[in-house]
Amino acid sequence: MADFEDPFGSSVALARWVAGILRAQGIDYISKWRMLEYWMQVELYRAVNDNKAGAWRHVGDHEQPYYTQTPRSDRKSNVKWVDLLLAQPDPKSSKKIVWVELKDVGRNEHTLKANSVGIGQDLAALYKLNRSDSKALWLDPQASRVDRGRVAEWKEYAAALDCDDHFIAQIVLVPRGLAERNAEMVVALWLRTFERRVQVSPQSHNISIERSDTDEFAIFALVSRLRTS
C-alpha cells in the first residue's frame, strides 16, 4: 500500500485531498446550494473524525478563537474564530497544529471579486496569529470578546498551543465556470490584499496557492508555516 500523503504537508496535497473528500461526499450533486461553506466545514470535520486525514485530530468540537496582530480593519477586534483547528498526534499535547479557514466565494463575478479581497484579509489575520496571546486568551478570555462558557474546554486544550510547529491553511471553493474565467484574478487579489495588509513582498512570504477540481468546483488551497510567536 502506498504511503499516506499528509493533506497538510503542502498546498498541492491539501487541494487534492479536499477535492477528493468533497467529491466523494457529493458536492457536485448539491452545487446550487448556497450554504456550501458550512456544508464543507461539516464534511471536512467528518473526514478528520473518520481518520481520512491521517494523524490529524480536532482540537475541541467548536470553532476556536485566536488572537491576531492584524484584524481585518482597525475597527475590528483582534480576536477571530477559525473554522477548523487540527493537531497531531494528540490535541492536548500536540507536536503540530494547523489553523484552517474556509470560504465559498459565491456564484457571480461581483461576489467573487469582493470575496477574493476578503480572503486576502483573512490570510493576513492568520499570518499574524500570535500563539502566546492566543493561549492567554484561552486561559483568561475577556467576557466582551469570547464565550466564557467554554473556558473549561480551552483550559483543557491550551497546553497544545505551546508546540513549535504551527501552520495556517485556507481552503476556497469557486464554481468551475467562474474559476476558468477568473482564476488569475482570484489569486492576484488574494495575495495582493494579503501582502499590502501585512507589508510583505511576494519573495519574502513563500506562500503557494494550488488548485484541484471536482466536476462543478475548483478548490484553491494553501498551507504555510506560521512565523509569529
Which triple of cell numbers denotes residue 194?
494579503
Lowest mean pLDDT among 126-130, 146-150, 182-186: 146-150
Buried (b) or exposed (e) across 197-219, using 16+ Cβ within 10 A? Answer: bbeeeeeebebebbbbbbebbbb
Instruction: Report d(CA 156, CA 147) in Å as an integer.
Output: 15
pLDDT at 42: 97
Run of H or E residues at 225: strand 217-225
For the cut 70, the answer to whether the pLDDT of residue 146 exceeds it is no
The whole-number pLDDT of residue 141 equals 84
Question: What torsion, rounded to 10 degrees, do the Cα atoms 195, 192, 205, 92 define?
Answer: 80
> Residue 213: what residue type?
D
Spatial CA neighbour of 186 closest among 110, 103, 116: 116
pTM, full prediction: 0.95
Contact call for residues 39 and 33 (beta carbons, < 8 A): yes
Cell of 21: 473528500
| Best CA proximity match to 91, nearest among 5, 163, 170, 7 | 163
146 vs 225, more confident = 225
Give me the phi and psi of 106, to 5 degrees please: 105, -165
Q: Determine the pLDDT at residue 1.
A: 36
| Cα distances (Å, whole numbers) of residue 95 to 1, 26, 55, 91 | 26, 33, 11, 9
pLDDT tens, position by position, 17-66: 999 999 999 999 999 999 999 999 999 999 999 999 999 999 998 899 99
Dihedral of CA atoms 33, 38, 40, 45 in degrees, nearest 10, equals -150
